[in-house]
Amino acid sequence: MLTRKQHELLTFINEKLSETGVSPSFEEMKEALDLKSKSGVHRLISALEERNFIRRLPNRARALEILRLPDAMKAKPAPRSATVVPVKGPAAAPPSAANPPSAANDVLEIPLHGRIAAGMPIEALEGQNMLSVPAALLGPGEHYALEVTGDSMVEAGILDGDYALVRRTENARDGEIVVALVDDSEATLKYFRHEGQMIRLDPANRAYDPMRYKPNQIRIQGKLAGLLRRY
């Protein structure tokens, strides 16, 4: 049997999924149940998971799936899953148990590893933060994000404060935008090109000059896969 609070939370989640197809936030759940902190919500969610009433969908922000409902609630079936709608993308049909939201609307969480210079190289800061990203912006492979600082890539549409979404790779072809680690200490976001026996990192701003390095000075850390901008 569920406790009163567990039943209230399950009812609230079910109603939100039925109405919008999007899981309520922890703040919304806290307010709906008149709890003092979000830790109480976490405990209730965990209890419902242990009893196989709901499950959290991995690597998705604010995504819960209702596995079953108490007999008293079965008159109101919930959609199978819910995800955050991407920042940009086609409008989805209203979700239902027979027509759950498309996986293209998923939001993934990828590591946010500090800042990356789009001007002169700066130290690449490693961090433990995560960034929620619409799955539609990412292709196959492992990804991470870096916050852009500087203006040397503005002519490529990459602005100061943007989040560069980077696919991990150690290889790049001429003309690709890469995260290049210089002398194992500084990282920069630039166009990658070979120039004779040298590696040339080109900005996308005529106010900046290309930077040239010996091949052993440069290690490719990834290629630009997408860009996220917050307003």
> Which residues belong to the active site?
152, 190
CA 96/CA 226 separation, integer angstroms: 31
Alpha helix locations (H) across 35-193?
38-50
CB of 101 closer than 8 Å to CB of 79: yes
Tokens 């899981």, residue?
23
Q: Which runs of E-coded beta strand occur in the chain?
A: 54-56, 64-66, 107-117, 129-134, 143-149, 163-167, 177-182, 186-195, 198-202, 211-213, 218-228
The tokens of 87 are what? 């920042």
Query: Which residues lie closer than 8 Å to 126 by C-beta, 6 or more apart?
Result: 113, 114
Q: Give Cα separations from 132 to 60, 82, 167, 188, 214 (angstroms).
A: 8, 15, 15, 23, 36
What angle do helix axes 4-20 and 38-50 make, rounded to 10 degrees? 90
CB-CB neighbours of 187 under 10 Å: 23
Which residue, 168, 170, 169, 122, is CA-closest to 147?
A: 122
